[in-house]
């Protein structure tokens, strides 16, 4: 026999209570995550951190827990706050998705000059973008940490002259004489390649993206390392120059090695000041041809 539901409305309050509790149990939807910083915001953060000589901003303070509800009251359902963006961090920005951000972050890490920046910059030596690799090598030279020597020696074999030259320059800045032979091999390889069979024009003197630019930085590094032997092996053949170019003559003179005193002049005539490496040249004197 079927039971009949009471018709006096006694179920109405029960149904209403169940309906309201079901609605109240659903928390509000969380707000959408904020969009990431723009390129301009990233660069502004990089410049600020570089100026402050720090690698990252401190973590933001943790938000306080909500106050407990009063006795006898149900806790209020509050939407969670939107997630905070991570604080600006040069070590994170050097791995950014944009090469131009990675380049600028790598330079900033070098200018900050802290040892914590060495490993991220070493990792950046394997970046797909040659300009990022070049700036990473240069920045390692600014820091001057000896731990970067072996990765920079490996970068002397980079396919880009831009990276080769900056790696040699960085090794000269670090000052580890153990890298002199590797830098000398780079200089010799460029000379023997015939890339300087024609004297580079003066307009190329400041360029870094050519074999001549890499050679200029390599011989400069050998001067810093006081490495006459590797330099002479790269640019001289039985005492005669393999390449007649003023940066090489100037490098030989700057070494002030007694073995340079009886060498013939190897600088070509040009409108630039150049060095003579003959016996009549006084140390550190620059003359015009």
CA angle 18, 22, 28 (to 5 degrees): 155
Residue-level pLDDT at 137: 98
Q: Which residue has the higher pLDDT, 73 or 11?
A: 73
Q: Is the pLDDT of residue 15 over 60?
A: no
User: 275: which strand partners?
Assistant: 286
Using the 8-state DSSP alphabet, how is residue 1 labeled? -
pLDDT digits (tens, 9 = 90+) for 28-67: 555 565 667 899 999 999 999 999 999 998 866 666 666 6
Per-residue pLDDT, averaged over 146-158, amounts to: 97
Cα-Cα-Cα-Cα torsion 233, 254, 274, 184, nearest 10 degrees, comes to: 30
Lowest mean pLDDT among 77-86, 135-144, 229-238, 262-271: 262-271
Nearest CA to 141 among 177, 114, 110, 116?
110
| 44 neighbors 93 (Cβ within 8 angstroms) | no
Question: Which stretches of 144-271 are DSSP H helices?
Answer: 149-155, 161-174, 180-192, 211-224, 228-235, 246-255
Burial of 54 (0-12, 13-18, 19+ CB in 10 A): middle
Q: What is the pLDDT of residue 1?
A: 52
Is the pTM above the cut of 0.95? no
| Residue 9 pLDDT | 55
What is the percentage of the chain residues whose pLDDT exceeds 90? Answer: 52
Average pLDDT score over residue span 56-82: 70
- pLDDT attached to residue 270: 46
DSSP state of 94: T
Full set of structural domains in the chain with CATH? 44-54+87-287 (1.25.10.10)
pLDDT tens for 193-230 read 988 888 888 877 888 999 999 999 999 999 999 999 99
User: What was the pLDDT predicted at 29?
Assistant: 58
Is pLDDT above 60 for 27?
Answer: no
> Cα 221 from chain centroid?
20
């Amino acid at each position: 026999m079927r039971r009949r539901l009471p018709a006096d409305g006694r179920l109405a309050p029960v149904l209403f209570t169940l309906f309201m509790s079901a609605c109240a149990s659903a928390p509000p939807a969380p707000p959408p995550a904020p969009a990431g910083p723009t390129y301009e915001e990233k660069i502004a953060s990089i410049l600020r951190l570089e100026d402050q000589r720090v690698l990252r901003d401190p973590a933001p303070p943790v938000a306080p827990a909500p106050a407990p509800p009063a006795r006898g009251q149900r806790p209020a359902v509050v939407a969670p706050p939107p997630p905070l963006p991570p604080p600006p961090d040069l070590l994170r920005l050097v791995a950014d998705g944009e090469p131009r951000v990675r380049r600028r972050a790598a330079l900033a890490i070098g200018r900050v000059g802290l040892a914590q920046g060495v490993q991220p910059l070493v990792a950046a030596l394997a970046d797909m973008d040659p300009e990022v690799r070049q700036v990473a090598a240069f920045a390692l030279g600014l820091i001057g940490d000896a731990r970067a020597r072996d990765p920079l020696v490996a970068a002397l074999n980079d396919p880009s002259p831009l990276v080769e030259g900056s790696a040699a320059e960085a090794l000269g800045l670090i000052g580890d004489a153990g890298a002199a032979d590797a830098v000398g091999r780079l200089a010799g390889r460029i000379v023997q390649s015939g890339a300087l069979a024609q004297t580079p024009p003066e307009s190329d003197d400041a360029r870094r993206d050519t074999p001549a630019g890499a050679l200029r930085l390599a011989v400069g590094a050998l001067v810093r390392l006081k490495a006459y032997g590797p330099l002479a092996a790269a640019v001289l053949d039985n005492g005669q120059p393999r390449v007649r170019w003023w940066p090489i003559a100037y490098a030989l003179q700057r070494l002030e090695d007694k073995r340079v005193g009886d060498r013939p002049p190897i600088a070509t005539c040009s409108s630039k000041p150049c060095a003579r490496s003959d016996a009549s040249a006084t140390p550190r004197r620059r003359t015009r041809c």
